[in-house]
Amino acid sequence: MGLAILFVYGYPIIRLFDFSMRRIRGASGPFIGFDNYRFVLRNPIFQEAVRHNLFLLVGVPILIIIALIFASLLFEQLKGWKFYRFAFFLPYILAVPVIGIVFSYLLMLHGALNETLRFLRLDFLALDWIGSPNIALKTLLAIIVWKEMGFGIVLFFARLMSVSEEIYDAAKIDGANWWQTLWYITIPQLQIVIEFFAIVTIINLLSWIFAYVYTITRGGPGTSTQVMELWIFNKVARGAPNPGMGAAASVILFLGTIVLIFTLLRLRMRVGEEE
């Protein structure tokens, strides 16, 4: 059993490390040590891609805050809350390429959004959302937040449904307002789920956003929305002759993500011990 698991998960990773140290031509190539890593790390486009991935991590607190607020509002079970729950979750179940293509049409300079804004005489808001290097990455982030928040909302909401109502009743009796309830009851109750959601989102924003970038901006204009995954794709696919560099970048991304998550977990454990 252990061997089987080792083979299924371990073998591809070992091969990836092996690839990363070769000048791959076809299925293999000469061993060149850490040259591919040197080439990757000094590559200005890869460096830019890393910066963009790190910028996108801004999405983690944004997603958590939005999901928290909406989950709490749903928990109040206001009129029509089931419809809102469905509406929030809907984007999450749509395929990313579908969302990417739809948004790339909506957000063109002369796309539906800008034409609507112009019709409303809000021309100053009709920006080149995906065609301007100053805005394109932020546009991508907004689309990612729109799509991914549904998962956070449903996750938080499901956890809230299992919290004892007595705690909330007690808070009401004590005269806690909505924000106080959120801060002193809801968030502590959701702590584990928030941590889980944060980790999943970090992994997503580092290594699961290829489909967004590929379908919406293709990394452009110029290199303004280049991310690590797209850079790797350009090195390993489409007949690119140097998959070794793509493999080296994949190893860097893999190890970087592990280090980041491990650090977060360690931090969490330390906080837990102090508490």
Partner 1 sequence: MRKTRMFMIFFFALVLLFSITIVFAGNGEEEEGTSESVEKGPEPVELVFWWWGQQEAPGLEDWVNETVELFEKEYPHITVETVLQATENVIDDFITASAAGTPPDLQYFWNGIYHQEQVWMGYIEPLNDWIPAEELKHMYASELSNFQGKQYRAGWYLLPMTWIYNKKLFKEAGVPANMTPPKTWDEFIKVCEMLKKAGIIPIGAGFKDGWWGEHNTGHGLVQQEDHVADTTKLLVGEYKWSNPRWHEHWKRLEQLINADYINDDANSLELYPGMELLLTGKCAMTQSIGSYVPEAEKQLGVENVGVMKYPTFGIGKLAEMPIMDVQGVGISSQSKHKKEAAEFIRFMHRPDRLTAMWEMVKIFPANDTWDGEKYIEGPNLRTMWTWFQGENTAWIPNMIAWAFDSEVMHVAPQMMMTGATTDDIVKLAEEVIARWKEENPDLLESHKKWAGVK
- Binding site residues, partner 1, CB under 8 A: 1, 4-5, 8, 23, 25-28, 35, 39, 43-45, 104, 107-111, 128-133, 217-218, 220-223, 234, 237-242, 245
**With contact defined as beta carbons under 8 Å apart, do 144 and 209 qualify?**
yes
Nearer to partner 1, 118 or 266 (CB): 118
Dihedral (CA of 113, 119, 125, 131) sign: positive
CB of 104 to partner 1, least distance (A): 7
Distance CA 98, CA 147 (A): 11
Residue type, 227: V
Rounded Cα–Cα distance for residues 197 and 217 (Å): 26
Quote the least distance from Cβ 76 to partner 1, whole Å.
40
Separation CA 247–CA 258 (nearest Å) = 16
Assigned token pair, 103:
């948004």
Smaller CB separation from partner 1, 104 or 187: 104
Q: Minimum distance from CB of 146 to partner 1 (Å)? A: 19
- Residue 228 Cβ, how far from partner 1 at the closest point, in Å? 15
Residue type, 124: F
> Residues with Cβ < 8 Å from 159, sequence gap 6 or more?
189, 190, 193
Which residue number, 79 or 110, has a Cβ lying nearer to partner 1? 110
Residue whose CB is less far from partner 1, 23 or 85 = 23
Q: Considering the complex, state which of residue 41 and residue 187 has its C-beta at the smaller distance from partner 1.
A: 41
CA 120 and chain centroid, separation = 33
Shortest Cβ distance from residue 107 to partner 1 (Å)? 7
How many whole angstroms separate alpha carbon 76 and alpha carbon 78? 6
Shortest Å, Cβ 77 to partner 1: 37
* Residue placing its CB nearer to partner 1 in the complex, 8 or 93: 8
